[in-house]
Structure 1
Amino acid sequence: MNSHKIYMPPPSNWQDFQTLVGDVAILKYVSESVQEYERQGQKQNGVDVIAESINGDIISFQCKETTKGTITKEVVDCELEKAKNFVPNLSVFFIITTSPRDVHLQDYCNKLNKNGGLGFKIYIKFWDDMIDDINRSRPLLVSSYKYYLEEFGTREKKPICIQ
């Protein structure tokens, strides 16, 4: 049987994107610990979603829904500065974006991690990475993209070949 990745478009607004990031975080971290952090207009220190690993590490996510292009190093730096003020101290800081993969931003984050000094690790994940995570979870795929799947002929009871 061939495996195919189902490519879905990103959510059309930042609120739905942030919720989807939280739903993916539930798959990877202690589910009870995952929460959207803040409400619109509140200071958030660069954190939109927060979670705790089974080791007790504080994992945070900054969600960047973009309509054109990609984010820049300057955006990464700005969000890092905010995240440094988060209490309690972060262990890992993810920037999750609807942008396509960008090797320059990946290299930049890798360099920041290698140089140290942040007090936490930084990783950037792109929409392609989110699609991979969504495709690995049938319940998440169905709950987040049910109508999209139905439109393209994939019914909930039919098995979906996941990568």
Structure 2
Amino acid sequence: MYDYIKIPEIIDAVKFENLTLDLYNPILERTQKNGRSGQCQDGIDIYGYNESNELIGIQCKVKSKFDLGSKNFTSKFLKEIHGEVEKAKNFSSKLKLFIIMTTAPRDSRIQKEIIDLDEKTFQKDGFHIKINFWDDITHMLTEEIHKNTFKKYYNNLIIQEKIVGDVQAKLLNLVVGVEPNDNSLYELILGYIPKLTEYPNGIAYYSNSYFLGCLQSKTIDTFPIKCFPSDLEKVIKFSNRDRYTITDWINSIDIDEELKKDTREYRFHWTKEEFNEYLARFS
């Protein structure tokens, strides 16, 4: 579900805490916030119980771009994590798992530190430690169990399928040319219209087809797989060579897979030999 969408981080601490509560409501039982802002919380913002009735505590950590860009961010964050773990020891002797939820991106150094800290804390204090970075939270948001939570916080990212007919598309920049330094930039929209039965007459003709739009020429057209240069004459009309090059690029990629990726910048170049073959067709 929506795993091809780039989900922006939440930078408001209260909203992030609410998101965390909503994510764990379907997972844990008797989930609730711990106290309120300004009260002593012993490192726990949210708590609940797993299927084995074990107590789970959660701490929320929002990290802004300013935080992430500061000098020695990782070292500072690790020190902060150690401090929160110490606080959590005072929360309850029944605590079995302490989860840190953060908007910071995944960091291997922090992960390694958490592994060591988890082992030592479990041996000494009887609870485990886990960290969920924004990458992990994004994955949670794309799971079917959290569909309503995704819609609650990111409804503006969802294209209403019934309105646009389940069209899947992405905007991208494509640089094409002949190696090594010949470049032409195209601003494109690449997409797929799935095969459906409820399209009105006329529109149904375009179902189960791929399409390419060019923002510079303000044109769009559908094409089959395999694509041919003649399919793109209305879209790529400034340069015959570029039309052939872009056709080769389309045929070189798996469009369905590319639509799921966050990649927005593409480059595709012919070798001089391939360009000479192109010229030979019209000699």
Residue 95 of structure 1: aligned partner: 100
Give the superposition deviation at 1:156.
6.4
Q: Distance in 2 between matches of 1:159 and 1:90?
A: 47
User: 2:113 aligned with 1:108, yes or no?
Assistant: yes
> What residue in structure 2 maps to residue 63 of structure 1?
60
Distance between the aligned counterparts of 1:41 and 1:112, measured in 2?
A: 28
Stretch moving more, 65-74 or 124-133? 65-74
Deviations 1:100-156 (CA, angstroms, capped at 9, x unpaired): 00111111111122333232000111011111001102211111211233xxxx126
Per-residue CA deviations over 1:55-113 (Å, capped at 9, x if unaligned) read 01111110000112155210111001100000253100011110000111111111122
Match of 2:131 in 1: 124
Instruction: Tell me the TM-score normalized by structure 1.
Output: 0.85
- 1:35-54 to 2 correspondences below 5 Å: 35-54=32-51
Return the offset for 1:159: 9.8
Q: 5+ unaligned residues in a row in structure 1: which ranges?
A: none
| 1:6 Cα deviation from its structure 2 partner | 2.1
Q: How does 1:15-26 map to 2 (within 5 A)?
A: 15-26=14-25
Q: Which has the higher contact order (CA 8 A, sep 6+)?
A: 1
Does the 8 Å contact 1:96/1:125 carry over to 2?
yes
What percentage of aligned pairs have identical amino acids? Answer: 29
4+ residue segments displaced more than 4 Å: 156-162
* Contact 1:5–1:135, Cα closer than 8 Å, also in 2: no
Contact 1:101 1:128 in 2 (8 A): yes
- What's 1:85 paired with? 90
* 2:123 corresponds to 1:146: no
RMSD between aligned residues = 2.4
For 1:6 and 1:113, the matched residues in 2 are separated by 33
1:43 Cα deviation (Å)?
A: 0.2
Check conservation: 2:21, 2:32, Cα contact below 8 A: yes
Partner of 1:13: 12
What do residues 26-63 of structure 1 show as CA deviations (whole Å, max 9, x unaligned)? Answer: 13212xx1111121100000000111101011111100
Q: Partners in 2 of 1:42 and 1:24 — Cα distance?
A: 23
Whole-angstrom distance in 2 between the partners of 1:107 and 1:24: 25
